[in-house]
Amino acid sequence: MTAAKRRYVSARGVAQLRERLSERDLAVIREVACLRLMSARQIQAVHFPDGEHDNEQAATRARQRVLARLIREQLLIRLERRIGGVRAGSAGFVLALGPVGQRVLAGSDQRRRFYEPTLRFFDHTLATSRLVVDVQVAARSGVLDLLDWQAEPKSWREFASIGGRRVLRPDLFLALGSGEYELRWFCEIDRATESLPTVRQKCRLYVAYYQAGIEQARGGGVFPRVCWIVPDERRAAQVRDAIRRDKALPDRLFVVTTEVTALDVLLGVTQ
């Protein structure tokens, strides 16, 4: 990571810093904490929209100033790895929650040591963040209503089955408003790194959770559909075929789409 050299900040200093933070500062810090990793470009799309500045260049300058300050104060940290290489400039920087940011959000002295993530974690987490950002931008433009979203671990669901305690770990839960309808989804961000048997096993866990009835009991009788979002059509065909071949998996519960068409599918525009 490329944050400034760590320095100790007292509990009083953290409290004073918290008082100085703007609502936007806190919103940025909270969202990075929820999603675990966000690129500077993603942060700008949500928290520094062009419509609130004279132009895109002004929005970029504002984002650069704010993120530089949050990094300097150890509220966020900047990773060594970036998106798009050096040519992407500061928009390609990737941010995670910093040690002081942890304490500001927790309201205590608790701290977790941060380690530079693996490439696999980096890629998967940023793909999840990209979907959340796309949904928020669509909501701001009036395409949909974003009623709720939960990233890991808030999206996880614990339940009991014949085999004992089990935990379903969706990458993301979404509740979207489209016209008079509310659409609920569990999203699986597939980066073509898992084997197809592993995909089928995850699908069977969704079926087991559906049969437990817990989600329906707390969600007005509705169980979210499961959307597998994959990199390309080749992978989509493989995942669809793997699900279709398993007779224990109801077709209607699962939908498979690519990143390009994901938003339309989540809104029910295409299936």
State pLDDT tens for residues 201-240.
999 999 999 999 999 999 899 999 999 999 999 999 999 9
**Start-to-end C-alpha separation, the chain:** 41
pLDDT at 3: 44
Q: Read off the tokens for 222.
A: 């509705």
Q: Read off the tokens for 212.
A: 């437990």
Contact between residue 224 and residue 186 where contact means Cβ atoms under 8 Å apart: yes
- Total-model pTM: 0.90
* CA angle 169–173–174, rounded 5-degree value: 170
pLDDT tens, residue by residue, 25-62: 999 999 999 999 999 999 999 999 987 877 888 999 99
Domain 122-266, architecture per CATH: 3-Layer(aba) Sandwich (3.40)
pLDDT at 127: 97
* Bridging pattern class, strands 225-230 and 181-189: parallel
- CATH no. for 11-117: 1.10.10
Structural domain boundaries in the chain: 11-117, 122-266
72 vs 64: CA distance, rounded Å:
12
Contact between residue 67 and residue 41 where contact means Cβ atoms under 8 Å apart: no
pLDDT at 110: 57
Packing angle of the helix pair 233-245, 196-212 (nearest 10 deg) = 60
Q: Read off the tokens for 144.
A: 């949909």
Look at residue 270 and give its three-state secondary structure.
coil
pLDDT tens, residue by residue, 158-204: 999 877 899 999 999 999 998 888 999 999 999 999 999 999 999 99
Looking at residues 99-112, what average pLDDT do you find?
Answer: 79
* Residues whose CB falls within 8 Å of the CB of residue 98, separated by 6 or more in sequence, listed in order: 3, 70, 71, 74, 75, 76, 77, 114
What one-character DSSP code corresponds to residue 175?
E
Looking at residues 260-271, what average pLDDT do you find?
Answer: 87
169 vs 149: CA distance, rounded Å:
14
* Bridging pattern class, strands 164-168 and 181-189: unpaired
pLDDT at 6: 62
pLDDT at 83: 77
Q: What is the largest CA-CA distance in the chain?
A: 60
239 vs 231: CA distance, rounded Å:
11
CA distances from 269 to 39, 180, 234 (A): 28, 14, 22
125 vs 135: CA distance, rounded Å:
16
